[in-house]
Structure 1
């Protein structure tokens, strides 16, 4: 009598959340972040970890073997950068929600549960940010949501303010800092993820702007807290950071600014560029800042340049410019102070 054919085991259930982490020789920090994920009271998650450092993924595989939660380790064999690294992780993710977590961001035990509860409370929101505390000095804020001035400046709202200034209830904000954010998978995919050409810096601002052009909303979740080192992979004021910041700021202005604003804002964009160059010169960093501006200008033309991308991006806009304007920072004093900007979480 022939032996019965055994049925293959059923596939593992899909997690509700995929935590995306991109490392570049960040093993020490990433292990600490994984320790904090192991302490989460929301257990229905997986981790998709990209190690951008060539030949440096043995530590990640060891972590995957010893952790109680599933970890998929991806090794692209070259440094894709933060933007394309997260896009790669998202393509291998199985969850309906994507939680972006930097290796140098250490979440409280209820971080994921607070984000998921907020997603249920605010169904119109499909992007959620965290209250980020300075890991070196938790009495200070690292940020409570990204802010954007259409003249070409972005910052983490509330950076270095006292932690007791953090919101005690969920608040609408311009966009989530990608160090610790939750995105609906459907929206992240529909937007095409981060712009890979950015490599790193400003990619989360660009994504938030494209999200808003389509009518998307973002909420900072008061109960979702992380401690963030900040620039744990690249030094905050390094030549690399300055060059990429200036280049990507210019691309973001060109790609995402509605036509009704773009031409009137050009003098302000030029002024901001000159001020940032002067500031860089005072700190001995004129060279990388100028290289960033030149690279930004060089990347405007051509089939894959910012101008060509602009046409496709602007064609997706579904909201009036006045709705976009409300989410941005226009007051020069608020820009100078790097002040946070927020509003009731469910306001349009």
Structure 2
């Protein structure tokens, strides 16, 4: 076993060559005994490393109240150890301590495409290269391909008719929409917007409905207030910039104001927001209240950033899933209430850059395959 021990030692010290890695892989596959032998070697190395890490006063999750852990991305190094560890240990993952693989059956998570459904039920898939969809005053849009050149209700005979479209944005994707009145809507991942293809002159209001999250830059029109319906909450505005967070699975609906002024209406209650404030409606208590908030934390996604300031991991997990179009299975429930600060650019930093920032401060081990991230339960 001397040669195998040397290969395992090289593997664990990141000095194994491609040829040696293939030899070790073939040996591991050869028998159950070999798999167990390799597993025990990796396990012993992990336990020894864990002992020394404890001496370095690395934070213990069970003792953490509400820490603020500052994360910085460490760019991935294309080293052999990283890929070799995942590749080989996956063969014996059913009982290993070091790596936990949620891989009893091959599973793939596919978030889907951006879809626009018009009032007639016609569905149009938006090309991945399209970053902005612009509707003109007649409700026409030109960059969705030959399928949709002109809305059938935009002709003179139908100029007084409201024709509603719905756009659905899956995880991992975002898009900008310019409505026929010039209002800009930035739709976040896992969101949908119901909006008129154009706003007829006879209508007294401009009204849309949002599920999920969006930032609105409303075109001013003093004669036609702009109304956003977000679940039980109605937001009225003449011209401003604000974020609406109304994901169905969230315990609250919030509106964060960046510029201008908005009025929130819930049943018989009316609240007016000033910049830097958020109106928050609790779904459990049906209480609407105003809080001072960090606007940047709520609006950063528009600039393709994942920004979290004093946020729990349970909330950060949702941001990561939506930004990168993945599913995260968190088997480390103690992690949910730990608070972090971090700032990542999703255009230049991929999901493993983000996850490795958590790993670098020894908060978890994870696996990533087929758009599924599995976080190991920390022993």
- Structure with higher helix content: 1
TM-score range, shorter chain: under 0.3
User: Whose RCO is larger (CA < 8 A, sep 6+)?
Assistant: 1
TM-score by length of 2: 0.23
TM-score by length of 1: 0.25
